[in-house]
Amino acid sequence: MILKIYTVDAFTAAPFAGNPAAVVPHLEPIEEKTLQKVAAELNLSETAYVSPATGAVGESNPFKTCSLFRLRWFTPTNEVALCGHATLATAHVIFHSLENKSEHLEFKTKSGVLVARREGARISLDFPANPPRPLTPTEEKHFEHLVARAAGGLKIAEVQVSHATKKLLIRLHKSCTREQLETLKADPISWKSLHDGSVVKGIILTLAGDLRGAAGEESTSGYHCLSRYFAPWNGIPEDPVTGSAHTVLGPFWAKKFGVSSLRCRQVSPRGGEVEVRVRDDGRVDLSGPSVIVLEGKLHI
């Protein structure tokens, strides 16, 4: 079987930044073990497999005419239930390379139906909001050593958890700086000895930016929040820009600042921007640009 394959840098307008994802459009079924082997071979944080929904396969060019697709995401080690940047990358390929003329696309996934909409040069994703909650005393004790190791000596203000996404959110104290967060030397692989991944599969380190709500003054950074994200339990030591993490960060910081729209920066070495709109219906809109950097053929 020979399939088209694309590599897309998501949440960036420039190549070699943001978060790369592989996108594999297909019409015929692919064996489960092959899906995982390809993702391991590519060794990107995510490989997305997308196919037209049942009923569209008989059309002459279903990727051009269909607006409902099935979508799955695989890391190099396992399948995940939700991935923002690979969904953005998939929508970009369908809109811009496969010449789909729809204004919005729907994706059937393990996290329900996700919607991608055109917004000028950007694409907006309609995702479930995953607000975190404070740890219980039992959880605080259980994660004490993991939290201390992840923070790398930086002062911690609070810790919360999103059980829906299995993400631990560590808010750093306001005395910490962007430079400290950016230059923090983390060793995520060592964290696996402190937790088996049964409750948490990823850790968000986050810091307030220089935007302080609707009445605040914008300073040089122009972001409500800064973050880094690590997911060694999913085979991803550090993820460059993470859509699913912003389904947690968005509700968390929106509540802190009393706003519904946030501009966020993930300060990984590659870096990228995510705009988040927190809605009243338990959903969030994540938007950002993306760019195709590679197009080729996959032989399986």
Question: What CA–CA distance (Å, rounded) separates 246 from 186?
Answer: 20
The residue among 286, 288, 283, 287 whose CA lies nearest residue 113 is 283
Task: Give the pLDDT score at 61.
Answer: 80
Neighbour-count burial of 105, counting CB atoms closer than 10 A to its CB (0-12 exposed, 13-18 middle, 19+ buried): buried
46 is a catalytic site residue: yes
Query: What is this structure's pTM?
Result: 0.89
Question: What CA–CA distance (Å, rounded) separates 23 from 26?
Answer: 10
Question: What CA–CA distance (Å, rounded) separates 197 from 143?
Answer: 11
Task: Give the pLDDT score at 290.
Answer: 96
Same fold, 2-122+288-299 and 133-278: yes
Task: Give the pLDDT score at 120.
Answer: 86
Give 35-62 pLDDT, tens digit per residue. 999 999 999 999 999 999 865 555 678 9
Q: Which of 28, 46, 217, 275 is catalytic?
A: 46
Task: Give the pLDDT score at 54.
Answer: 65
| Amino acid identity at 218 | E
Task: Give the pLDDT score at 218.
Answer: 43
Assigned CATH for 2-122+288-299: 3.10.310.10
Ranges under pLDDT 70 in the chain: 54-59, 212-221
Task: Give the pLDDT score at 233.
Answer: 95
Task: Give the pLDDT score at 287.
Answer: 97
Task: Give the pLDDT score at 220.
Answer: 40
Q: Which CATH architecture has domain 133-278?
A: Roll (3.10)
Task: Give the pLDDT score at 221.
Answer: 55
The residue among 74, 75, 58 whose CA lies nearest residue 66 is 58
The domain ranges of the chain are 2-122+288-299, 133-278
**Cα three-residue angle 165-274-242, rounded to 5 degrees:** 35
